[in-house]
Amino acid sequence: MSEGRSGLRGEVQDLITAVKTGDVGSPGESETPSADLYANEQVTSKYGYVDWQGPKPVQEQAHDLVERISDLDISHVDELAERYYESDVSEEHVGGYRDAAENGRSLVLSEGMDGLVVIPKMSAVARLEQRHKDWPDFNRAMFYLLGVMKAARSDFYDYTGGKVGPNRLRLHEPTVKVIQKLEADIPGDVLVIPAQTGLLHRGKSPRRARVRFQFNEFGLDSFSVGCILLTHPDRLKDSKGLWIDCPGAEFAPLAGSDFSVVPCWFWHDGELGFHWYWHAHVHESSGSASARLPE
């Protein structure tokens, strides 16, 4: 990124340094020393995005969120998106995602990302949830989101029955550390990050996807993916669309049991569903969602 950016540039670079040195934890690479682990948990997939061209402009996403989730400070959205625009796109970005923009500037994202998504901070949504005050922010935010989704979509069905407390649902450790750092360092109530909703890791089991993440890539959780679907209902609207695994979170099938499954957003029988699958589950119709830290 060029010099002269906002003060956020330094904060973001500090985060990248922390990830690379292990202070935050290296998403994916700290998971296992072998990228060949779970290599048999991968199949060829032709599933993709149906009639979806990628994320909306960030301001539109932000305003869509505010319509459903009140009292969010979205005043820094443009400033946060600014980190990903460059005036001089050099050869080092060949193979990355580039898009024409106004004033001769380009949006530059890592290869495989769908685009920039706007996701509320978990802490910002958790403060709106007056029940379950002893739960962590992630669980309170997830519980609140399920209620919002039910109000927003008549075709939504929660197969967990609202059982998303800390004895059933938690963040995957590498994602915990990245989210904590981002929430602490980024102003306002939302994050603006490059993300992809399954295409990059389609046909892989969630745990296979985790070990294939790039150095600055981390798994998206069920709350983050749910918010993307809230602002982009056309991303998953029929059985032909790629289902979305959430490797940034872990689920326990029974309270007190091991967290051996991952949450999943999918389409079944005319409904958008929220449920879970085993972390070793592999199917051509599913793909793991992930995000990339700024490079």
- Band of the pLDDT at 31, cuts 50, 70, 90? very low
Q: Is 137:126 a contact under the CB 8 Å cutoff? A: yes
State pTM to two decimals.
0.85
Greatest alpha-carbon pair distance for the chain in Å reads 55
Residue that is written with structure tokens 């402009």 in the block: 57
Per-residue pLDDT tens over the stretch 41-72 = 889 999 999 989 999 999 999 999 999 998 99
- Band of the pLDDT at 239, cuts 50, 70, 90? confident
- Band of the pLDDT at 12, cuts 50, 70, 90? very low
- Band of the pLDDT at 20, cuts 50, 70, 90? very low
Name the residue among 155, 178, 191 with its Cα closest to residue 249: 178
Higher pLDDT, 28 or 246: 246
Higher pLDDT, 121 or 24: 121
For residues 105 and 4, what is the distance between their CA atoms, to the nearest angstrom?
A: 15
Q: What is the predicted pLDDT for the residue at 49?
A: 95
Per-residue pLDDT tens over the stretch 156-178 = 999 999 999 999 999 999 999 99
